[in-house]
Every structure is written in structure tokens, then in C-alpha cells.
Structure 1
């Protein structure tokens, strides 16, 4: 978990300013509708004000700009005067408060909204700002989550103040396409807009951050009768697209509506044939949703992993053998799909924390060795941590059980199920999975390695800086899993292949067996595999050209 005291001042205020060429491109697009009133919700030092003039905005254009930082707001005011936008009004205040107060007033209807909203987690926002963010969702009758980020209510408030037929052009995090906390925003944009286009780059546009960014171009519907075309994603490499007319870029991608816009937008990154094939396979009688064949639960939540998850040396030094139980919780602990005594011993030899200390009740205080260890934890104030202090006694971790199958929360290439042959415990970096009905653990684990399931993981999951795929239980439950009755895979052989081969090679070969067992042709198998590879490469920021060069 990240704590506010560990974050930089720049990150806490979301102050990553837009490169001038990108700002100019966005301004040129909104100027195509000849706006007279423009809103900039987070103007910083005035990058977009200068870009408006560079893109051809008339001097009498009325720009209303908002900036929380008074020093930056003063810079923006000077820049507005320097570039000739003297009709601009710069408000040094919190945008959400300003927008909530202004909504409904005649002067709060804008032809265009431009900018780069702050990328700040909800947990890092001061409490008054948090309340304003919640109010934005409430007034729009949208589901709210405290996992949100400041840029989400900024866009919602900006879109709300946009007149029918107006345009919104913003730099937003690439995660808008897939994170759960942006679902309300995606649904709202899909309902309010005639057309949406996301310009999706292969590279990072902001130095000093792993956060990918995209350009969002949204044109609001003129009336309820105005047809909503949906979403189009325009993939770009480098900045070559900046030489094109913004209107041509906006018109270029094919719009997709329906389930693509209603849910995560990742589907729009696939071709129509792949989307149709995926939907066709979902209906196959031997293809299941994960929730129908297995139960998913989070791992053990200790509240103080370094205290409860320890090496053999710590167990021996403190005489804690009575309370030590085998555990795993990291990808390096599980290089294959079988966790057995041999793997557990290898982890222990490598000095990994392979022991979970389970102090199940107060009786442990009767023993000097366990009491000394617990008192040492209290000396480090572990008992004051949130997860520890809300239970009594603080050292008695709840919900301790193991399952025959585990699954790590994050993965680099593709998620795997792990057959837990030693009954090891797992922390909340992994999930505990139990099969339902007559599905065997071996069958579930071996058939899980296939390109259809891997593709559905890319569609359902999310990723952040660094390109690591993450799945939460509700997303795992939606995964598509083929379980052909005529297929039997050697788990031992598959485990060895995963340990020694490439993820891509193993996935392709095992997919031939699993998807072939469904009766799927080789061409259609290739289509599914290539769909997965396309999304995996985007997540890793690998271009198609780079793939050719490395094969």
C-alpha cells in the first residue's frame, strides 16, 4: 500500500503538465466548432491558453480557467495576457467546488472543455475535496467508489457543464479504458456523447512517471434524438498523428457501441472478427464463466506481513516452530503451476518467507517464546495498525484456511492457477480457489492455460505503471474458461514447460490442445491467440514492429 507521506508534492497535486504539441492538437480539434466560451478546469501555468492561440483561437475567445495553486494561477493569468486572450477569467480555487456552485447558471454553459485534469488518488485528496468529488457523482446519480481518482469527477463535472453539441478534449490516464473506478465515467460518457475517440499511444508522454496517458475526444449529443455512435480507439506511434487534421483523426476509427461502451473499453482494441469470435465461444456448451466452476476468495489478511510471514531462520531464532505453517505469496515462489514439497524446500533454501505464523488465540501468551515475539511486535507498534487493532487479540489473524488451488493477484504475461499440493497458506497477494461440482482441481489448473482465458483476463483485468496485469475476485469470476471433456493434460509436463519455456510458447501449444478440444479450427485458434497477444503487447508497450524484430 502507498502512504501519503511517501509521495512527492508533484504527485499529490497531480502536476504533470501537457506537452505543448499535444495541447495544441486538442485545442485545434475543439476550435473546429468555433467555440466562443471555453472551460479549462485545471489550467496550471496556462499551457492550454497558449495552445489555444497557437491553434488559432480569436483574441475575444472567453476562456474560463480554474487553478487551485495561486502561484500557478498567477502564471496562467500572465500567459493569457501575453498571448492576447485578455477576455480570460482565471479563478484561483478548487474546480469541483467552483463547478458545483456554478452548475445551472447561464454563464456555466460552455462550448468546449479542454485540459489535463489532476491525477490524484481519492485517498490523497483533502477531506473537503473528497466530499466535493462524492457530491459530483451524487448529483449525476452515478455509483461512487473511494477507489476513484481526481481526474474522474473533473471530467464528469466538465462534461456536465458542456452544452449540447459541445466538445471535450482532455489528456487522461490510459487506465480510463479499463479500471473499475472509471466505470461510472465510461457509462456516463457513452450515454451523453454522440461520438468518443481515444488516441492511444504506444509510448509514455510524461517524463518521470510510469503512468500512461491518452487523449480523450468527446462530442456531446445535440439532443436525445442524436444517435450515440459509441467509441473508437485510434492507436498511434510517436507523434506522427500530430501532422494530421484533428477532425480526420476523430473521424478515422470505427465506432463501437453496445457492450463495449457499457463496460470496459478494452474490447474496442480488438478487431470485429475477434470480438465476434470471442462472443461466439462464450456461448459454447463446454466454455464456462469461472464463477460457474469455481469459488474465489481473497488470501489471508495479516495487517503486518513482515511479522507474520517469516523465514526458517526467524522461526528457529525465536523458537516458533509450534506456530509456523507453510505459505507462498509471490510469483517467484511459484515459477510453475504446482506448489509441492520440493518447491517449498527450494523457497526456504533461497531464504524466502515460507512460514505463516498463526497465533490462533490468547493461549500463545502462556509460552515464553511466542509471548516474547508478540511483545517485540507491540514494541514496533504493530498492534496499532488498522487491520491489527480492529481484531482481538491483535495477533490472532482471522479467516485462516488453505485451498487446493491458489492464484496470484498479479501477473506479468498471463495469470496462472497453482495446484497447492502441500496445503500452504496464501496472503492477500493471492486468491484461494475451490472447484465446484464435478470439476477436478487438475482439470481446472491445466485447462486454465489457454489463449481464450488469457484474452478474457486482458479484457476483464486492469494494469498500471509497469504493465503488470491485476485481477480482483469479481473480474476472475467473469473469466471465460474452456473445459473440453475429451482433453486430458499432464499437469506435471505442463508445469515443467512453464518453468523452462516462454509464456507465449507454452500458451500457444496448450491452446492447441484446449481450444482444439472444443473443435475450434486452427485459423480461429490463431485469431484468439493474436487477440491476446495484441492486448498483452499493448499492456507491455511492445509495438508490432518490436515484436517482428525480437522473434
Structure 2
């Protein structure tokens, strides 16, 4: 999201979450945040000094030594500190009138170690508890707010995940409890065309105050200006927390659609998927290529069929409505790698299986992280036979198919186990209805590249309305709402 040029892998662009901010965007954010020449500005992750160069009375922190040196050259009037921002924030006594920037978007998998510990500890000291899945940008913003003087302001580029990610909810709770004005500008057209990640804008003002609403501006394209665009609506914080599960994404829809959806949620005859089924992920093999055999390979290796379990590896092979024995036979005729080598602990293994485990492919597979951390390495755990299989990542529609053939599935899919068969039989025929499809859009989140992703907890929240609700609603209205959300995730672009 900001420029990063260091050659060291530790500071690579992808690892550091660093991409160049369009000049018009950085100029607009700094122009709004800095009201006077004497205002002291901080950029907590300044890169090469793009924001610092726009206001002489500024301080930047940058961990990449190459970028820090270039920031000094690019913004000679600024004070640039090389090092970890969170360490600096803990130690400094300086306070600022304003902040602006584009904090690095580093996902939790690589936001780790001492930096992560310092970041989360500092945020906890400031009253914000982030989950272990938090990306780096959210702690950056909380820690920066903690360095403001009373009445201070912030203007940041933020990932669109602020509108839906569970880890972003503690950030928004902190912002409305700490600023008198919190405004988010949701931008449909990408600020960074080369990235799959969508970005929005965050403006906060009046540090030390408190807001009971979030000003939300919904625009198709951001036009840089010295002041942010006027709010499209004022989001009641209580409604955001209770009705919409602390997500802003539903507010991209017309108020009429949100009202009907909210009324459906309040109907006692409305159910969620988790009311009658358990949503889990499939098994993790540790090496899909080794553990999934083609029928021709199984025949060549003389692996007995008793040790092979038909399995669905990904959503691309899912049929439209159900997986039948005919489906599995088609997979086998195509010689697809659909036979899971299913072995258990303390099982007597035939020579053919032992030979395969001791082959060069087996010796390589057992070195993988998952395999070497289980005993025995070849026993794939949590292999289930679900009642239904659901796509984890989807394009136009989320696919749910009945598992009539008794196949298993990998963690690229959701394994659905029905607990209440009567309720499932009543509600699941609604799966392809416009309302349920809209619910999938609202409960899931954009992954990038136009895809919709549903985590298990999100999938469990998919709503099935009562028959009375279905009779009273207009399918065209739901279809328009589905199309709108798909355009926001760029599927329909």
C-alpha cells in the first residue's frame, strides 16, 4: 500500500504490505489532517516519506532502512526514525495534533514475533484487545491514536476489511469511544488497481471525545479534495453492533433492503444454518498430491480399495445439487486424483501401502509441517463423511450439495453435518432463493479477485426466512441487492 524498495526478503513489498499511495489520495488526507503549519503530523509507517513531504512539521517512523533513508531525502524538513513503530510509540513522550498515512497491511500469518507482541500489548494498554487473527494495520491505527493530543485528528488509507473483518470490530469500538467524529469512506473503484485488496478511507476527529454514530460515505470513486465527501448516512453504533454483527458492509445496500432484512432477523420463525447444522472444514492432509491418488496410480501401486476413500478436493469438482455414486464414477473415469489414502493409527498395513509410504514421494511428504507433527505421519486426522458439502470460496453463488455418495472433503470446502433433520428438510430447499443468496453475500466477505469467502462461523449465520417473509418480499429487490454486493467485490465488473 506504500512504496517499499529494500532488496532484503525481510523488507520485501509483499511481506511488508507496502504499496505506493496515489498522490491525490495522500495530498487529500494530509490537507484535511493538517489545519495549521504548526500542527505536528505523525506517519507511523512512512515508507519513502510520501506523506511527510506534504507537511514540513512532521515525524515518520520506518523499519526498512533503505526506505527510511529515502524518506529523509524526500522530506528533508521531517524527522524520520528508523525502527519498529510500536517500540518507538511505547518509549516516546511526544504527542501530535494529527496523523496521516497508509499503514502496512500485513496479514496475521506474517505479522508475528516480537513486533506483534509489542503491538498487541500496547493496544491492550490502550484498551483494545485484538484477536490472534488481526492484521497489522489495525494495531497501527490504535497505537497512533494513543499518540494524539486532545482534539487530534487522523486520516488513513485502510483495507476494506474494516467493513467486515471480525478483527476490525475492536478497532471501530475504540474509535467511536475515543473520537467525537468517525467517518469511513467506502470506495467501490479500487484505489490501487494493481492489488486484489480493496481500500477505503478513514477520517477521525476530536480525540478524547465520543461518538454514538459512524459517518459512512458510499462512493463509486474517490475524488481527492481538501475535505472528505459528505456522509451518505449515519450508522447507529447500537444497530451496527446488534443487528449487523459489527459489520459495515450491509450499509452498502439501500435502507429499504436493510430494513426488510433486519425485520426478517427479528422474526421468531427465522432460522440460521447453525440452528440445525454444524459447519466445519474438511481434513488437512499435509500433502494433497501424495495422499490423493488417481485410480490409475492406485491400480499401478496395487493399493487395496479398503484403504482408499473417495474425496472431494476443491469446489471446482462440485456438481450442482448432489454428489451421487454416478458422480464418483465420473471422477474415476476421468482419472481424477479423488482417492484419499485413509490410514489409521496402529493399523496393519499391506506391503503395497508400506512401499508407497517408503517411496521417495512418501519420504518427502513426511517432512511437511503437518505430517512431521502428527503420529503416525501418514494417518490423516478428522476425515469425516458430511451430510452436505459447501464451497468455501465462491464466484456468483455459494454452492451447497447433498453428499449422497458418502465422500469426504478437504479443508478447501465446508463439511456440513445436519443435527435437526426435520428443520433441514424444511429450510434447505430455500438455498437457491434470492434471500438466502443475499444472506450468503452479507455474512461472507470479499476475498479479492471477485471471490466471496465464508468462514465456518460466517456460514453458520446464513439466514433462512420464514414462509410468511418470503410471501411478502419482492425477489427483484433481493436480486438487485445481490448484484450490488457482487459489484462491490468486483465479481460483476
User: Would you call these one fold, judging by a TM-score over 0.5?
Assistant: yes
Aligned partner (choices 397, 405, 419) of residue 414 of structure 1: 397
3-state DSSP of counterpart to 2:476: helix
The Cα of 1:174 is off from its aligned counterpart by 1.8
**Residue 129 (structure 1) aligned with residue 129 (structure 2):** no
What does the per-residue CA deviation read over 1:284-339, in whole Å, with 9 as the maximum and x for residues that have no partner?
34320221121222212222222222221221121122311211132221130211
The Cα of 1:45 is off from its aligned counterpart by 1.2
* 2:4 aligned partner: none
**Residue 294 (structure 1) aligned with residue 277 (structure 2):** yes
* 1:356 aligned partner: 340
* 2:54 aligned partner: 51
Q: Is the 8 A contact 2:128 2:170 kept in 1?
A: yes
In structure 2, the CA distance between the partners of 1:165 and 1:447, relative to structure 1 (3 Å rule), is same
Aligned pairs for 1:161-176 within 5 A: 161-176=147-162
Aligned pairs for 1:86-485 within 5 A: 86=77, 88-102=78-92, 105=93, 107=94, 109-125=95-111, 127-206=113-192, 208-223=194-209, 226-237=210-221, 241-242=223-224, 244-247=225-228, 249=229, 251-257=230-236, 258-260=238-240, 263-320=246-303, 321-365=305-349, 367-376=350-359, 379-439=362-422, 442-482=425-465, 484=467
* 1:37 aligned partner: 40
The Cα of 1:116 is off from its aligned counterpart by 0.9
3-state DSSP of counterpart to 2:306: helix
Aligned partner (choices 8, 11, 14) of residue 11 of structure 1: 14
Q: Is the 8 A contact 1:178 1:264 kept in 2?
A: yes
The Cα of 1:521 is off from its aligned counterpart by 3.6
Q: Is the 8 A contact 1:233 1:268 kept in 2?
A: no
CA distance in 2, matches of 1:169, 1:209: 21
3-state DSSP of counterpart to 1:362: coil
Q: Is the 8 A contact 2:60 2:79 kept in 1?
A: yes
* 2:481 aligned partner: 531
3-state DSSP of counterpart to 2:157: strand
In structure 2, the CA distance between the partners of 1:12 and 1:440, relative to structure 1 (3 Å rule), is same
Structure 1 stretch 207-216 or stretch 26-35: which is displaced more? 26-35
In structure 2, the CA distance between the partners of 1:450 and 1:9, relative to structure 1 (3 Å rule), is same
In structure 2, the CA distance between the partners of 1:89 and 1:452, relative to structure 1 (3 Å rule), is same
3-state DSSP of counterpart to 1:206: coil
The Cα of 1:421 is off from its aligned counterpart by 0.6
The Cα of 1:268 is off from its aligned counterpart by 2.0
- TM-score of the pair, normalised by structure 2: 0.90
Q: Is the 8 A contact 2:101 2:156 kept in 1?
A: yes
Structure 1 stretch 63-72 or stretch 385-394: which is displaced more? 385-394
CA distance in 1, matches of 2:15, 2:476: 44
Aligned partner (choices 17, 20, 23) of residue 20 of structure 1: 23
The Cα of 1:402 is off from its aligned counterpart by 0.5
What does the per-residue CA deviation read over 1:159-205, in whole Å, with 9 as the maximum and x for residues that have no partner?
22223332211112222211223232232223323333333333333
In structure 2, the CA distance between the partners of 1:8 and 1:131, relative to structure 1 (3 Å rule), is closer
What does the per-residue CA deviation read over 1:266-292, in whole Å, with 9 as the maximum and x for residues that have no partner?
122122222111110112343202211
The Cα of 1:391 is off from its aligned counterpart by 2.4
Q: Is the 8 A contact 1:264 1:460 kept in 2?
A: no
CA distance in 1, matches of 2:9, 2:72: 32
In structure 2, the CA distance between the partners of 1:200 and 1:541, relative to structure 1 (3 Å rule), is farther
CA distance in 2, matches of 1:438, 1:164: 57
Q: Is the 8 A contact 1:202 1:542 kept in 2?
A: no
In structure 2, the CA distance between the partners of 1:521 and 1:129, relative to structure 1 (3 Å rule), is closer
> Which runs of 5 or more structure 2 residues have no equivalent in the other structure?
1-7
> Which runs of 5 or more structure 1 residues have no equivalent in the other structure?
53-60, 485-515, 544-551
3-state DSSP of counterpart to 1:401: coil
CA distance in 1, matches of 2:48, 2:11: 19
In structure 2, the CA distance between the partners of 1:8 and 1:31, relative to structure 1 (3 Å rule), is closer
In structure 2, the CA distance between the partners of 1:532 and 1:156, relative to structure 1 (3 Å rule), is same
3-state DSSP of counterpart to 1:204: coil
Q: Is the 8 A contact 2:276 2:423 kept in 1?
A: no
User: When you count helix as a share of all residues, which structure comes out higher?
Assistant: 1
Aligned partner (choices 64, 74, 87) of residue 79 of structure 1: 74
What does the per-residue CA deviation read over 1:125-161, in whole Å, with 9 as the maximum and x for residues that have no partner?
4622122122133223433333222212111111222
**Residue 520 (structure 1) aligned with residue 445 (structure 2):** no
* 1:540 aligned partner: 490
CA distance in 2, matches of 1:360, 1:37: 64
CA distance in 2, matches of 1:313, 1:231: 60
CA distance in 1, matches of 2:409, 2:165: 25
Q: Is the 8 A contact 1:175 1:464 kept in 2?
A: no
Q: Is the 8 A contact 1:202 1:541 kept in 2?
A: no
In structure 2, the CA distance between the partners of 1:200 and 1:440, relative to structure 1 (3 Å rule), is closer
Q: Is the 8 A contact 1:382 1:388 kept in 2?
A: yes
